[in-house]
Chains A and B, each alone.
Chain A
Amino acid sequence: GAVVSQHPSWVICKSGTSVKIECRSLDFQATTMFWYRQFPKQSLMLMATSNEGSKATYEQGVEKDKFLINHASLTLSTLTVTSAHPEDSSFYICSARAYEGHRSYEQYFGPGTRLTVT
């Protein structure tokens, strides 16, 4: 159980366009989802926390107008990178936390999305 999927797994887009990444919890309801970014050979940096039905909470230094997060349902959160630039190229990973049947501090990670902006 506790499977999290992401789509797409990789995407290449042109500078100035927007890209949407989906994160789904497949077999549990996730009231909270997290979005991380990983640069090569670096740690996972938390970008934002999203709760179903409310606005996302962004970490310091993350532009909320650039990285739009929508947590529309208990199984889906989306991250939209708006007006993407080459410096936005990175590996984006989502995670989801379930409450029922799971300890509240455990997060289950998706497989990640590799974004390349040309």
Chain B
Amino acid sequence: DQQVKQNSPSLSVQEGRISILNCDYTNSMFDYFLWYKKYPAEGPTFLISISSIKDKNEDGRFTVFLNKSAKHLSLHIVPSQPGDSAVYFCAASVYTSGTYKYIFGTGTRLKVLA
């Protein structure tokens, strides 16, 4: 039962253009959503997060949008740079069994072409 889904396993974008990575979830109890960037053989690096009570959060080139009614969030990267090429995971936080846990999506591999 995949509660957090990233349906696009890969995405290629031209440098300077916008990258849009999508994530869908099923559990309405998720209270926080996060995006992580990951390079091979490294741990994930936190990028940006959004509370379930907001619909947008912006940090530099990164903006996360949340549509609660659709149970959908997206990460926009503008402008995309070659250094953004990595695997991006969305994660959802839920408070259960006395602690916050993260449920990760399957990841989207972004390739930014120079």
Size range of the chain B interface in the assembly: 20 to 34
Contact check, A43 vs B102: say whether CB atoms are below 8 A apart.
no
A51 contact set on B, CB distance < 8 A: 99
Tell me which of A44, A49, A91, A95 contacts B89 (CB under 8 A): A44
A107 contact set on B, CB distance < 8 A: 102
Contact check, A43 vs B104: say whether CB atoms are below 8 A apart.
yes
Count of A residues near B, CB < 8 Å? 28
A63 at the binding interface (Cβ < 8 Å): no
Q: Would you call the interface of chain B mostly helix, strand, loop, or mixed? A: strand
Contact check, A111 vs B43: say whether CB atoms are below 8 A apart.
yes
Contact check, B89 vs A43: say whether CB atoms are below 8 A apart.
yes
Q: Name A112's closest neighbour in chain B (CB-CB).
A: B43
Binary flags per residue of B26-40, CB closer than 8 Å to A gives 1, else 0: 000001101010000
| Sampled A-B contacts (5; CB under 8 Å) | A36-B104, A46-B102, A97-B100, A106-B46, A112-B42
